[in-house]
Structure 1
Amino acid sequence: MSSDAAPFRLPYRHLNDAEVELAHLEGDPDGRIDGSGGSCSIPVSSPSALSHDGALQQKNGSSLKTLVLSCMVAAGVQFGWALQLSLLTPYIQTLGIEHAFSSFIWLCGPITGFVVQPCVGIWSDKCHSKYGRRRPFILLGCLMISFAVTLIGFSADIGFFLGDTNEHCSTYKGPRWRAAVVFVIGFWMLDLANNTVQGPARALLADLSSPDQCNSANAIFCSWMAVGNILGFSSGSSGLWHRWFPFLTTKACCEDCGNLKAAFLVAVVFLIFCMFVTLYFAKEIPLERETAQHLSDSSPLLNDPEQYQHESTQTKLEKVDNHHFSEMDGKTRMDASFDFQHSSEEGKVEALNGPGAVLVNILTSLRHLPSGMHSVLLVMALTWLSWFPFFLFDTDWMGREVYHGNPSGDATQRKDYRQGVREGAFGLLLNSVVLGASSFFVDPMCRKIGTKSVWAISNFTVFICMAATTVISLLSMSKGFHSIQHVIGGNDGIKIAALVIFSVLGFPLAITYSVPFSMTAELTAGTGGGQGLATGVLNLAIVVPQMVVAIGAGPWDALFGGGNIPAFAVASVFSFAAGVLAVIKLPKLSNAHSSVGFHGFG
């Protein structure tokens, strides 16, 4: 085959069996997408890149015990993520960062989710370590998480030693800038570490699973994430850590700080335990080193007929074996790897053999989307514009608007604020339980009324809930309501209503974590495969809104006098618009739905 020949594209096979996975949003609220390889429901690397033993391992799969214990690290990561989601926005305000700027710390999540995870996925695909392709990255990521959460927990003490105020934390109300800087460094490092672990952890499970184990493996992984969420939110809702570990409270670190510090230290111990279990039971086959020629990977999104002009319509691929592709006409045999190649002849950027190529392919694919994908991206963007304000400020909302606390106020206000934050963490626990239960009903609903209608219902539910938070906030903060609370017991009613909203939001969240990705899989199914790239494009509709909200939500709230009501009110408008556009613009697809399970917030 001459060097100037057109790149040969291999159509994907068994496309109907592929499912699209969201790796941690990132929860999670952070928009994390799995770019790692695997063999199951996760975008995979070429089977020809594995050794013969590795291919045999994928074919035969692993025992149930191995699958269960090999993905236990997901629970450890999710434990820390649940604490991050529930406690850190309120905590940064106790260090002197105003509410208007507290959302800025969340910028790193969507950025690293979009950039780091695809890069880590490619690096792990090509890792030749004797310990396997995925385990080195899992080990590195877990160590980074442990260091980051320790840095966050001890940020107040570190700031004290670096020169922050000598006044006791119980009486000092001013900013502690050195502690805040340490906190932000740890927070951003935590986002980076989460994205380092999530992709390889999912890919590892896919590597160990046979095709008929895919559904079971995915359910196991999601179950561990549910366990981590429940433990993390339970830990965050407890206000007793400083009593159980009194030595963690210091002159610079009072009750709320001591609770945070202890909860994160427990998270570190749990994560390290889960990591060792995963590393021990996940028996990976090392990737063999060999020289591979380039083979262009045909993307389903690059749906331009011109890009296929060099393909022979008579060529049909029969099998892939021993790193060779056998054609039915017997004319061509070639060594293959799924590296990407640049095609200057067509004026298009093809994926190169490097991590930056993933981002290039995702961006250039926007010009060649299949019919209907633009509507999916638009609705997805509006959906996340409505979700992310709640993810950022849910526990802060409980502390401020529902419990009338203030992290920078007097002792009573700070106590009320801490109590509200803990109740908010409990609300997130209820949210996770409802989310997990609702995930079992998404598939039947999609089969009965269609994915389009289910997604629309989800957005209208969010609209009702976000509008309800605005009404509850205005009612709770009104002077007239304050004057009669002691007569009608309205304050307790407001608190219960807030927890009900937390719980109800678990239902549309389950839909948000599954339906858009199944729709993307179906829309791209007829164009040749490559759902990993399709999901990467969909990820743009997640991370860009998250960055917009992280930059604009705080200043927008400050424009109307502070608090969380303005951001929640705008979120209700976005969710209503998303529901209307879902009804009008989304393509009508088949009622079949491939559930992607419980993804949690990460």
Structure 2
Amino acid sequence: MPQAARWAGTPSIKGRSESTRMALLTFSLVGLQFTWGVEMTYFTPYLLQLGLTKSKTSLVWIAGPLSGLIIQPLIGVIADRSRSKWGRRRPFMVGGSFLVALCLFVLGWTAEIVAVFVKEPEKAKNVMVAVAILSIYAVDFSINIVQACCRSLVVDTLSIPSQQAGSAWAGRMCAIGQLLSYVVGSIDTVSIFGSIIGDTQFKQMTVIAGLFLIGAVSVTSYSVKERVLLSARDSDGKAGAVQVLSTLFKTTMELPPRIQAICWAQFWAWIGWFPFLFYSTTWVGETYFRYEVPKERITKTTDMLGEVGRIGSLSLVVFSFITFLSSVLIPFCVQQRDTKRARFPPRPPRKVAAVLKAIGAVRPDLQTAWLLSHLMFAIMMIFAPLAHSRAFATFLVAVCGIPWAISSWAPYAFMGVEINKLTMNGAAPMGPPPSHSGAVTMITSASLRANAADSELDVLRLNHHDTDSDTDNDDEEDPSSNIPSTGELAGIYLGVLNVYTTLPQFVGTLISWLVFSVLEPGAQSKNDSDPSDMQWMNLDKNKPNAIAICLLIGALSAIVAAEATRRFRSVC
């Protein structure tokens, strides 16, 4: 008979109120998103300034999807089976954050590091480009370690009725981190800090991002106590590389129908989001310098990378502010899970309660809100090629904050519910027999009640205390609200979702490379009237903006994502 997974300890979160506990559980995502924001703002213009063409730069961004495709699911499987006394997720979160900080430091000081070992100027330039690209790969690989475990920790800790609320809080924390990154990125930090942490804006942003990530992860790691896995199901805890990869492959190939539907909606959506997230800063800055800045003023600019980064960040500050407001308010305007007993009932601020009450009569469910978000994003990006001013480009980017807030919330909320339903309903999560799958023992509501004294089943239970729900009518209790999650499969299934998030980035990279190769095959020809620092920007008003064309193609993919989301409702 298969042996059940065994655990020690009880998970808990510091904090007296439910909001405080949710905030501490998801606070690591503030630092994570801050780091992503710095990467999205500065890395593209940094590579262009080093001398890479846009087509070659687009190929560098394979680092993002490649790291997500390999690292997140792999770390998810390994962390699922980790027997560390500190828990399954937190050791990877802490170690990964320090690795990210180190890689950011190398990236920021690439020129200085290369100069120590290579003296010949021409050779040093080539080596510097190579080290910068390798550093970006290292940043992406290490940050995916942190991201995989931060998301899994939320699923591990919360019960099924709490997954939507927990995912909403995660979205809010991501929005805060993103907003902070763009606010700080839009400030001339050199004038504030001098040369204490670097003599350029880019260097200082890498230092700030690394320290902020370590601090945010430390807060969550200190505040959350995990259970300790004593032994995985039918395993001695020693999962070899072949077994890990085999489990990952079988899980990906044999997904439950609803999880597969979520993944496909995410796939099509991210073909659109990828160029937006990585090129929107450069697009806004290039639009500004192409159509609104006199040429004589351009020639006087000495730090074009910093200028483009600050201008793009200003537009993304508005985008992030709208994302933050949306992540706070939209959950109150969306119907909760279809349960008779909600664990964390939403309590809107008193000042907006009247407005939200009026909206309540027609508020959509989360699936409909997700569908509408795809359509809103598509409409905004269809107009991207028509943007000939910084104001209009900023407007298009800013409005996308609404669909981005929903896209950062909905798929993880649905996945959290489905992952824990696999445990509750007794459905096998993978095709192979349980003795080969390494899956958690399946427990139904009836079996939990009938075998409460059984120690082997009891250790699988999480104590999700909810004082508010104690006053509810027990006759109307939804069985799922009384059965906590085990979260044993959170890492691998969220890793699979990330596979469907990263695969479209390969598609987006290919599309970007083709568009840039056709419309901007190389850097502008250098002449005496152009400053050397501007060679990486295409300021020809008579030519189409290549980034805008990529955004337009992404809009078409978002329409497909809307249809995939519509079909999700009918999947059983």
Query: Which TM bucket (shorter chain)?
Result: 0.5 to 0.7
Whether the aligned pair in 2 keeps the contact of 1:382 and 1:578 (CA below 8 Å) is: yes
SS at match of 1:238: coil
- Provide the rounded CA distance (Å) in 2 between the counterparts of 1:68 and 1:106: 32
Q: Does 1:512 align with 2:407?
A: yes
- Provide the rounded CA distance (Å) in 1 between the counterparts of 2:103 and 2:174: 20
Aligned mate of 1:277, from 203, 216, 219: 219
CA pair 448-352 structure 1, distance change in 2 beyond 3 A: farther
The residue number in structure 2 matching 1:160 is: 115
Structure 1 residue 83 displacement after superposition: 0.5
- Provide the rounded CA distance (Å) in 1 between the counterparts of 2:110 and 2:219: 30
The residue number in structure 2 matching 1:267 is: 209
The residue number in structure 1 matching 2:379 is: 464
CA pair 61-81 structure 1, distance change in 2 beyond 3 A: closer
Whether the aligned pair in 2 keeps the contact of 1:456 and 1:579 (CA below 8 Å) is: no
Structure 1 residue 392 displacement after superposition: 1.9
SS at match of 1:133: coil
Q: How does 1:16-27 map to 2 (within 5 A)?
A: none
Structure 1 residue 200 displacement after superposition: 2.2
- Provide the rounded CA distance (Å) in 2 between the counterparts of 1:371 and 1:291: 26
CA deviations over 1:129-156 (Å, ceiling 9, x no partner): 3333333212210110110110111112
Q: Does 1:370 align with 2:257?
A: yes
The structure whose RCO (Cα within 8 Å, separation 6+) is larger is 2
The letter of the residue matching 1:50 is W
The residue number in structure 1 matching 2:101 is: 146
Q: Does 1:397 align with 2:283?
A: yes
CA pair 283-411 structure 1, distance change in 2 beyond 3 A: same
The letter of the residue matching 1:444 is C
TM-score normalised by L of structure 2: 0.67
Whether the aligned pair in 1 keeps the contact of 2:73 and 2:498 (CA below 8 Å) is: no
The letter of the residue matching 2:82 is C
Structure 1 residue 455 displacement after superposition: 4.2
Q: How does 1:38-77 map to 2 (within 5 A)?
A: 48-51=5-8, 54=9, 57-58=10-11, 63-64=15-16, 68-69=23-24, 71-77=26-32
- Provide the rounded CA distance (Å) in 2 between the counterparts of 1:141 and 1:63: 25
SS at match of 1:554: helix
SS at match of 2:322: helix
The residue number in structure 2 matching 1:543 is: 502
- Provide the rounded CA distance (Å) in 2 between the counterparts of 1:220 and 1:453: 20
Whether the aligned pair in 2 keeps the contact of 1:453 and 1:583 (CA below 8 Å) is: no
The residue number in structure 1 matching 2:354 is: none
Q: Does 1:90 align with 2:5?
A: no
Aligned mate of 1:422, from 301, 310, 319: 310
Structure 1 residue 538 displacement after superposition: 4.6
- Provide the rounded CA distance (Å) in 1 between the counterparts of 2:103 and 2:146: 14
- Provide the rounded CA distance (Å) in 1 between the counterparts of 2:273 and 2:61: 14
Whether the aligned pair in 1 keeps the contact of 2:179 and 2:324 (CA below 8 Å) is: no
- Provide the rounded CA distance (Å) in 2 between the counterparts of 1:67 and 1:588: 28
Whether the aligned pair in 1 keeps the contact of 2:62 and 2:506 (CA below 8 Å) is: yes
- Provide the rounded CA distance (Å) in 2 between the counterparts of 1:179 and 1:352: 34
TM-score normalised by L of structure 1: 0.64
Whether the aligned pair in 1 keeps the contact of 2:323 and 2:402 (CA below 8 Å) is: yes
CA pair 371-125 structure 1, distance change in 2 beyond 3 A: closer
CA deviations over 1:59-107 (Å, ceiling 9, x no partner): x765446664454333222222210111111111111111211122221
Whether the aligned pair in 1 keeps the contact of 2:384 and 2:552 (CA below 8 Å) is: no
- Provide the rounded CA distance (Å) in 2 between the counterparts of 1:88 and 1:399: 14
The letter of the residue matching 2:549 is A
- Provide the rounded CA distance (Å) in 2 between the counterparts of 1:108 and 1:90: 16
The residue number in structure 2 matching 1:298 is: none
The residue number in structure 2 matching 1:307 is: none
The residue number in structure 1 matching 2:175 is: 226
The residue number in structure 2 matching 1:325 is: none
Q: How many residues align structurally?
A: 452
SS at match of 2:249: helix
SS at match of 1:127: coil
CA pair 540-412 structure 1, distance change in 2 beyond 3 A: same
SS at match of 1:403: helix
The residue number in structure 2 matching 1:503 is: 398
Aligned mate of 1:293, from 214, 234, 240: 234
Whether the aligned pair in 2 keeps the contact of 1:380 and 1:541 (CA below 8 Å) is: yes
When structure 1 is superposed on structure 2, of 448-457 and 357-366 the one drifting more is: 448-457
- Provide the rounded CA distance (Å) in 2 between the counterparts of 1:577 and 1:120: 29
CA pair 529-431 structure 1, distance change in 2 beyond 3 A: farther
- Provide the rounded CA distance (Å) in 2 between the counterparts of 1:292 and 1:377: 26
Unmatched segments (≥5 aa) in structure 2: 336-361, 430-488, 522-537, 539-543
CA pair 501-582 structure 1, distance change in 2 beyond 3 A: closer
Whether the aligned pair in 1 keeps the contact of 2:167 and 2:409 (CA below 8 Å) is: no
Unmatched segments (≥5 aa) in structure 1: 2-7, 11-45, 168-173, 251-257, 295-336, 341-350, 477-493, 592-602
CA deviations over 1:408-441 (Å, ceiling 9, x no partner): x974466566423312112222212212322332
- Give RMSD over aligned pairs: 4.1
The residue number in structure 2 matching 1:487 is: none
Structure 1 residue 192 displacement after superposition: 1.3
Structure 1 residue 273 displacement after superposition: 3.0
CA deviations over 1:480-527 (Å, ceiling 9, x no partner): xxxxxxxxxxxxxx2211211111011122233344556678899698
The residue number in structure 1 matching 2:552 is: 572
CA pair 203-455 structure 1, distance change in 2 beyond 3 A: closer
Q: Does 1:359 align with 2:285?
A: no
Aligned mate of 2:63, from 108, 113, 137: 108
Whether the aligned pair in 2 keeps the contact of 1:450 and 1:589 (CA below 8 Å) is: no
CA deviations over 1:170-219 (Å, ceiling 9, x no partner): xxxx9922222221122111111111112223344555556776566545
- Provide the rounded CA distance (Å) in 2 between the counterparts of 1:217 and 1:459: 22
CA deviations over 1:540-597 (Å, ceiling 9, x no partner): 4422220122244134223123558345325424523542673599327389xxxxxx
